[in-house]
């Protein structure tokens, strides 16, 4: 192995890779390369160096290729090695050579490793709770991206950006991103999420909003020996005078199979669904200071009212908002709202690496929370990112003993300022700062340029 490659591997491992020391060691990366049958030459940007450079690029506020290459040049120069070219072409080509399945496999490894560290005290009623929700991301306006992820149909050609629908499954206990599916915007969120149900493990509890609260989704989740807690879909009526009464606003009823087949299911799949399913409907009254009480009905397959009391279900559904916060962190805090990839496969790779970087930060938060005895969810992800960014350049300068002492200090600093508990927080969705008075592009940019030049 060339010496520059060893230098870069060591510095990446002892800096940005330090929180992943147990979850993503070099042996795991090599195993993933072998599993995907990836052969590579011992060049400067081999898959291992490229992966860590990609991760550090995503975590940095300056996400440019030039910034990533500049970091590598500085490291090699500091060790007295020959300075490589500052051209970004080599690194860009190395990122393209990373297979999507390789990155997706490593994303799963980071999530599974973090989940294994959770204990019974971190679970809800000794059950792993998984949150599911969808969002959208924009990407560079190139013909390849437009072909696979077309822009919104309401936008004129050349005036919009390609848009992709993503559905992500998060862990409630650790906050880790477990699974993701990517599809064109026209694909429905729920029909896309149904492909993630097969990733559920026996005993899991899936928590989601009322878009999922239908007969089909409750049955599909049960088929994988898991349970569901959804808000009831607005089209279905409830009558608490019927069924098996468990308490005030709490009963078990039988739902019948709908006559109309969902468009996303084939006739054969729909025919295999049972004719009836027993579900529990729970009426909850959400009280927020300064507002009128808000009534919701939660439907669940957890019918044991002694183990899963109404109060516990109310507490659990109140945590559903955490998935919105997690998605906001991935898109806004880590800057995934607008992706720079010029091709669809590069866009997907960027998404996978963003989620890996998110899991890396969650790992730091998890370790810090366990050390301080506080809930990791109350630790600021943005603050963790800022502290990690400042500590990382110092890690690789130290020996092993002092490095771990400094890392322990990082974990302490991360928990210095915890987020306040704000269960009923409400903020108006309005902007104060006025935008600049520019008009909107109504024609392709090249057409406007020709008009201005004329």
Could you tell me the residue ranges of all domains in the chain? Answer: 210-313
Residue 422 pLDDT class (50, 70, 90 cuts): low
User: Which whole number is the average pLDDT over 358-362?
Assistant: 94
CA distance 412 to 408: 6
Residue 425 pLDDT class (50, 70, 90 cuts): low
- Contact between 56 and 91 under an 8 Å Cβ cutoff? The reply is no
Residue entry with tokens 């810090």: 368
Q: Which two tokens stand for residue 377?
A: 């969810």
Q: Which two tokens stand for residue 186?
A: 């026209």
User: Which whole number is the average pLDDT over 308-335?
Assistant: 92
Backbone angles phi, psi at 307, to 5 degrees: -85, -45
User: Which whole number is the average pLDDT over 46-68?
Assistant: 93
CA distance 303 to 319: 20
User: Is 25's pLDDT higher than 70?
Assistant: yes
Q: Which of 13-17, 56-60, 182-186, 364-368 is predicted with the least confidence, judged by mean pLDDT? A: 13-17
| Percent over 70 (pLDDT), the chain | 96
* Residue 152 DSSP label: P
Residue 427 pLDDT class (50, 70, 90 cuts): low
What's the half-sphere exposure (Cβ side, CA atoms, 13 Å) at 152?
7
CA distance 166 to 193: 9
| Percent over 90 (pLDDT), the chain | 63
- Contact between 306 and 321 under an 8 Å Cβ cutoff? The reply is no
User: Which whole number is the average pLDDT over 368-375?
Assistant: 92
Residue 256 pLDDT class (50, 70, 90 cuts): very high
User: Which whole number is the average pLDDT over 123-140?
Assistant: 95
User: Is 441's pLDDT higher than 90?
Assistant: no
User: Is 299's pLDDT higher than 90?
Assistant: yes
C-alpha to C-alpha distances, 179 to 105, 249, 267, 361, nearest whole angstrom: 10, 35, 27, 17
Residue 454 pLDDT class (50, 70, 90 cuts): confident
pLDDT at 44: 87
User: Is 426's pLDDT higher than 70?
Assistant: no
Show Cβ contacts of residue 214 under 8 Å, excluding neighbours closer than 6 positions.
Answer: 190, 233, 236
Across all residues in the chain, what is the average pLDDT? 90
Name the residue among 207, 121, 173 with its Cα closest to residue 366. Answer: 173
Backbone angles phi, psi at 197, to 5 degrees: -60, -30
pLDDT at 132: 96
User: Is 195's pLDDT higher than 80?
Assistant: yes
CA distance 35 to 99: 12
Beta strands in 236-321 (DSSP E): 244-247, 250-256, 276-286, 294-300
Sign of CA dihedral 315, 317, 318, 324: positive
User: Which whole number is the average pLDDT over 3-14?
Assistant: 89
pLDDT at 36: 87
pLDDT at 124: 94
């Amino acid at each position: 192995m060339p010496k520059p490659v060893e230098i870069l591997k060591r510095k990446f491992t002892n800096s940005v890779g330090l929180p992943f020391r147990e979850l993503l060691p070099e042996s795991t990366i090599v195993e993933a390369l072998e599993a995907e049958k990836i052969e590579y030459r011992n060049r400067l940007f081999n898959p291992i160096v490229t992966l860590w450079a990609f991760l550090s690029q995503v975590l940095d506020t300056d996400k440019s290729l030039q910034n990533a290459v500049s970091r590598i040049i500085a490291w090699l120069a500091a060790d007295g090695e020959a300075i490589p070219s500052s051209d970004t072409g080599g690194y860009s080509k190395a990122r393209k050579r990373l297979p999507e399945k390789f990155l997706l496999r490593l994303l799963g490894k980071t999530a599974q490793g973090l989940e294994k560290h959770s204990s019974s005290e971190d679970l809800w009623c000794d059950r792993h709770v998984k949150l599911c929700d969808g969002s959208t991301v924009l990407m560079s306006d190139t013909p390849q991206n437009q072909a696979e992820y077309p822009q919104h149909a309401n936008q004129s050609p050349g005036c919009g950006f390609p848009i992709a629908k993503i559905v992500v499954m998060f862990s409630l206990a650790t906050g880790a991103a477990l699974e993701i599916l990517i599809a064109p915007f026209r694909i429905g969120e729920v029909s896309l999420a149904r492909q993630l149900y097969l990733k559920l493990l026996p005993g899991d509890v899936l928590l989601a909003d009322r878009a999922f609260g239908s007969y089909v989704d409750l049955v599909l989740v049960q088929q994988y020996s898991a349970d569901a807690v959804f808000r009831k879909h607005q089209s279905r009526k409830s009558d608490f005078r019927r069924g098996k009464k468990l308490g005030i606003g709490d009963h078990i009823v039988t739902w019948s199979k709908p006559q109309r087949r969902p468009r996303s299911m084939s006739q054969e799949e729909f025919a295999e669904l049972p004719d009836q399913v027993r579900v529990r409907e729970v009426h909850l009254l959400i009280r927020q200071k300064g507002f009128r009480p808000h009534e919701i009905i939660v439907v669940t397959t957890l019918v044991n009212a002694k183990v899963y009391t109404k109060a516990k279900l109310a507490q659990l559904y109140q945590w559903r908002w955490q998935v919105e916060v997690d998605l906001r962190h991935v898109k806004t805090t880590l800057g995934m709202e607008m992706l720079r990839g010029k091709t669809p496969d590069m866009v997907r790779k960027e998404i996978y690496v963003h989620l890996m970087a998110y899991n890396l930060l969650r790992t730091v938060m998890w370790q810090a929370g366990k050390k301080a005895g506080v809930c990791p969810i109350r630790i600021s992800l943005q603050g963790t990112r800022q502290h990690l960014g400042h500590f990382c350049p110092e890690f690789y300068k130290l020996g092993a003993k002092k490095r771990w002492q400094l890392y322990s200090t990082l974990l302490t600093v991360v928990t210095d300022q915890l987020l306040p508990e704000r269960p009923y927080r409400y903020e108006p969705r309005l902007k104060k700062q006025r935008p600049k008075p520019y008009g909107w592009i109504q024609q392709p940019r090249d057409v406007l340029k020709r008009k201005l030049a004329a």
